[in-house]
Amino acid sequence: MNRFEADVLAQIRRRGDGVENARVLLAISGGGDSTALLAVLWALRKSLDLEISLAHADHGLRPEAAEDAAFVRDLARTLDLDLAEASLDVKAHAEKAGLGLETAARELRWAWLKAEAEAYGATVIATGHTLDDHTETVLLRLQRGGGAGSLTPLPARQGPRWSPLIECRRASLRRYLEGKGLPWREDASNAEPFTPRNRWRKLLEAMREEAPLLDQHLWETHLQVRDLRDLTEASLRAVEGRDWNRVENALRLKPGPWDEIRLRALLELAFRDLGWPREAAALRALTAWLMEHLSGHGAVTRSATFGNFALSLEPDGAYLHRMG
C-alpha cells in the first residue's frame, strides 16, 4: 500500500463509509477516475475485506466505445474479476422521456447498475466521483437556485452508491496512475461544451489557476455548512408534533407568531420530507407571506393562496397545502 492508497483508506475510515466486509460492484468506464478507483480498491481490498466485481456500460454515444470495452475486459481478465457489460440505448430513452442525453444516460446506467448489484449480491456500487465532480455539482446546484442546500457535501455513501475518492482531486488520480505505470482511456467528450457540467469544468480551470486550493477550501466550507444544517434540523425535529408536523400531504404549523429565520428553516426541512420543490428565493417569498398570516397581520380570512400554495387557518394551527 503506497501513501496515496493509505490516505484514501484513512478518509474512508474517518468518514465511516461503512463498507467493510462488503461485496462491491465497481462501475468502470475505463477513464482515469474509474480506473484509479479500481486500482485503489484493489490495493485496499484486504484492509477493508472487499469482494469486487466490475460493471461496464456502453451508452451508444461514442465511436470509441468498443475500444473502451476492450480495455475494461483486459483489466478484468488481468485481475481475474467478474465483469458485467451492457449496451444502453440512451438516445432512444432521451427522446421517449424528453430528457437530455446526460440525464438519460444516468437514469439508464443507474437502473442497470442496481439490477446488476442485486443479481451479484452486492450491497455497494462504487463510483469514481472526485472532489472536482463535487465542486462542479455545487456550482450546478447554485446555478439552479439551490440556496444553502447547494453548500452541503456530496456524501461519500448514499444508499448503495459509494464514492471513496470524493475527497481526491482528478489530477491526483492521474499522477497516481502514472506512478503505478497504469494506462487509462480519455473521454474527449468531457471537454466538449454541450453540457452545463462541461462548461463549468472549463470555467473552473481558470478559477483554479487563481485559487489552486479552491476545491479543498470549498469542501471544508461544505462540512461546516452540513454541521450547521444538522444542528438546525435536530432542533426542529425536537419540536416535531408540537410546533409542526406533516398531515398526509400537508404541513401543519402551530398557531401564533413564528420567528422568520426558524420558519424558513422549517419549510426547507418539511418540504424535503414532503418531496416539494425547495428553490431558495421561492421559500423566502413564501416565508414572508406566511409570517403575515400566522402573525395575524394579513387579511383576516380562514383561507388564502400564494402561488400554488393554499393556507387553511384552523383552531389547532395553519395547514399549508401544495396545489397541482
**Predicted pLDDT at 200:** 86
Q: What is the DSSP string of 259-307?
A: -HHHHHHHHHHHHHHHT----HHHHHHHHHHHHHHHTT-S---SEEEET
* pLDDT of 190: 61
Report the pLDDT value the prediction gives residue 300, as an integer from 0 to 100.
44
| Separation between Cα atoms, residue 101 and residue 114, nearest integer Å | 20
Please tell me the predicted confidence (pLDDT) of residue 188.
61
Domain residue extents for the chain: 3-220, 239-322
Q: In what order do the strands lie in the sheet with 157-158?
A: 83-87, 51-58, 23-27, 124-126, 161-162, 157-158
Residue-level pLDDT at 158: 92
Residue 97 CB neighbours (<10 A): 12
pLDDT along the chain (324 residues), means of 10: 95 95 96 96 97 92 86 96 90 83 86 95 96 89 76 85 96 96 81 74 89 92 90 95 92 88 93 89 92 66 85 88 87
Spatial neighbors of 146 by CB under 8 A, at least 6 apart, are: 279, 280
Q: By three-state DSSP, how is residue 121 classified?
A: coil
Confidence (pLDDT) at 189: 61
Q: What class has domain 3-220?
A: alpha beta
CB 97 within 8 A of CB 108: no
The Cα-based distances of 147 to 111, 214, 226, 258, 296 in angstroms read 29, 19, 13, 22, 29
Instruction: Provide the grid cell at 319.
Output: 395547514
Pairing of strands 51-58, 83-87: parallel
**What pLDDT score was predicted for residue 63?**
79
Contact residues for 276 (Cβ-Cβ < 8 A; gap 6+) = 322
231: phi then psi, degrees, rounded to nearest 5? -65, -45
What is the C-alpha separation between 20 and 95, in angstroms, rounded? 41
Q: What is the pTM of this model?
A: 0.79
The pLDDT of residue 299 is 46
